Amino acid sequence: MGYEFDAVLINPGDRKQVFQNLGKEYAAIEPPYWVAVTAAFLRNNGYRIAVIDSDADNITPEETASRVCDLKAMISIIIAHGSTPASSTLNMDVSGRICRAIRGSSSCRIALSGIHPTALPERTMKEEEIDFVIEGEGPITIRKLLETLKAKSDVFSKVEGLWYRENGAIKNNPRAPLADNLDEMLPTAAWDLLPMPKYRSHFWHSFDSITKRSPYVSLYTSLGCAFNCSFCCINTLFGKPGIRYRSPERVIDEIGLLVNKYGVRNIKISDELFVFKESHYMKIVDMIIERGYDLNIWAWARVDSIKLENLEKMKKAGINWLVLGIESANKDVRKGVNKKINVDNVEGLVKKVRSFDINIVANYMFGLPDDTIESMQETLDQAIEINAEMANLYCTMAYPGTRLYEKAIKEGWELPGNWQGYSQHSYDTLPLPTKHLSAKEVLKFRDEAFMKYFTNSKYLELIRGKFGQEAHDYMVEITRIRLKRKLLGD
């Protein structure tokens, strides 16, 4: 059989299932960086690659499978990453449906890659209609898999990082070593293979121009995290904590391409911790300023990684939003999940950052193992006191690949019955209980905290004053959409 493409890479997604009615307008539609950069890496190695973005195109698994048939690819590879590490698990339900649809209509091989398949490779092999699981980062393993398939070989024992079947038995090989040269493994992404006009930023990211959420991109300048919080699964992909960097020169050239060819202004820097290694992020900042790009950037930092002397330049480069993982106001609760913040006065630090006209996205978690109603209220009180321009109020979930998941399995804690139950916004959501509270009590507190925060007159006046009446009205509309929760009897 003649193949037109060596591989088709698929970005799965189901905004309605993950976000309920928030998915229609308010949720971001993020370009699948891991899909695009893997496509570029494989093209650079001589392979013919096609891409299907099922999420951006908003197509069904059956429509995705139909496109796969039309493309006549040797293998379909569903890359279940998503916009955050946790999104990989949320994408597994639709990923499974895509795999089944492809299996029912095509003879091509099927593989799954991503954080979740890496966390649970054997289970994924057993549960899904697939031939392979890619464990680990992905690009190098996929390249070796394509090389083996093109040689018409069924001997997969030398493909590092691969799970496969041999005479009906599930086999696996040791992981591929981590790439030393990220400029090679993460080249300029294959943006030309993506439906670029369909992507849109988070609504808050574009508060200064709410009708101009597109064009929008997300990209990495580094991989990994130096820390090891027990609720986070990012290091599952890499096998250990640590950060590796792309060269700032490659990053700025890619930003230049996005600005000049696609008219991009809104950029998410997806690094787990962009504001960390000063020589890296400030080199990028300096080059953005030198080239005079007009950008609207958001990026991750830690409360204790921010250097006040760099903020003026960062703002000038277009870093208008910094995301801070505050998690809990209670030190003992944070200590229980290995979240260390080496700043005594978080509120004061945030106030100093905002004095440079940099907006804050503050992340908080309710239902950490040591949480009580009193400690969660302490966190909510802190959130309202800080009054960040945006706040993410999460329930604690034991995502596969985290130490919390391992503990939940060991202790026999109830976990969601389906992968959508791990979504913060889904009907089936099921957070972890704490040592003192039930999952229902945690979820009820979180949903009520959301309404208290975003309907607070102090918050709404902040949004009106900084971004105008349109942004204010947008937030009012969001709070009118009430999520339905099975756990709460909706």
Residue 233 phi/psi, 5-degree rounding, is -110, 10
Query: pTM for this one?
Result: 0.94
pLDDT at 388 over 70: yes
Distance between CA 110 and CA 124 in Å, rounded? 12
Complete edge-to-edge strand list for the sheet that includes strand 132-134: 49-53, 5-11, 73-80, 109-114, 132-134, 162-166, 169-172
pLDDT band at 319 (very low <50, low <70, confident <90, very high): very high
What is the fold, at CATH topology level, of the domain defined by 5-172? Answer: Rossmann fold (3.40.50)
Look at residue 15 in the predicted model and tell me its pLDDT: 56
Strand ranges inside 35-121, DSSP E: 49-53, 73-80, 109-114
Q: Which residues have CB under 8 Å from 446's CB, separation 6+? A: 366, 367, 393, 394, 395, 431
- The tens digit of pLDDT for each residue in 326-338 reads 999 999 999 988 8
What is the amino acid identity at position 422? Y
pLDDT at 16 over 60: no
Tell me what the mean pLDDT of segment 20-32 comes to. Answer: 69
Which class for 417: exposed (0-12), middle (13-18), buried (19 or more C-beta within 10 A)? exposed
What is the amino acid identity at position 200? R
State the average pLDDT for the chain.
93
Q: Which residues have CB under 8 Å from 183's CB, separation 6+? A: 246, 247, 250
Which of the two residues, 3 and 113, has the higher pLDDT score? 113
Hey, which of 58-62, 192-196, 476-480 has the most confident mean pLDDT? 192-196
- For CA atoms 468, 471, 474, 479, give the dihedral sign: negative
pLDDT band at 374 (very low <50, low <70, confident <90, very high): very high
* Token pair of 121 as six digits: 């490779």
Look at residue 82 in the predicted model and tell me its pLDDT: 73
Tell me what the mean pLDDT of segment 461-480 comes to. Answer: 94
What is the amino acid identity at position 436? H
Which of the two residues, 317 and 490, has the higher pLDDT score? 317
Domain definitions of the chain by residue range: 5-172, 200-479
Overall CATH class of domain 200-479: alpha beta
Distance between CA 458 and CA 299 in Å, rounded? 25
- The tens digit of pLDDT for each residue in 257-303 reads 999 999 999 999 999 999 999 999 999 999 999 999 999 999 999 99
The greatest distance separating any two alpha carbons of the chain, rounded to the nearest whole angstrom, comes to 66
For residue 73, the cross-strand partners are: 5
Look at residue 19 in the predicted model and tell me its pLDDT: 43
Look at residue 23 in the predicted model and tell me its pLDDT: 44
Percent share of the chain, pLDDT over 90:
86
Look at residue 87 in the predicted model and tell me its pLDDT: 81
SS3 category, 233: coil
- The tens digit of pLDDT for each residue in 52-89 reads 999 999 999 999 999 999 999 999 999 998 767 778 89
Tell me what the mean pLDDT of segment 245-262 comes to. Answer: 98
User: Three-state SS across 348-375?
Assistant: HHHHHHHCCCCEEEEEEEECCCCCCHHH
pLDDT at 476 over 70: yes
Element (H, E) at 326: strand 319-327
CA dihedral 229, 230, 234, 237 (to 10 degrees): 130
- The tens digit of pLDDT for each residue in 108-137 reads 999 999 999 999 999 999 999 999 999 999
Look at residue 20 in the predicted model and tell me its pLDDT: 43
Look at residue 291 in the predicted model and tell me its pLDDT: 97
pLDDT at 22 over 60: no
pLDDT band at 228 (very low <50, low <70, confident <90, very high): confident
Tell me what the mean pLDDT of segment 216-228 comes to. Answer: 94
* Token pair of 189 as six digits: 């992404």
Tell me what the mean pLDDT of segment 428-455 comes to. Answer: 96
- The tens digit of pLDDT for each residue in 342-371 reads 777 899 999 999 999 999 999 999 999 999
Tell me what the mean pLDDT of segment 10-30 comes to. Answer: 66
Tell me what the mean pLDDT of segment 431-450 comes to. Answer: 96
Give residue 372's region: left, alpha or beta (phi > 0; psi -120 to 50): beta
pLDDT band at 164 (very low <50, low <70, confident <90, very high): very high
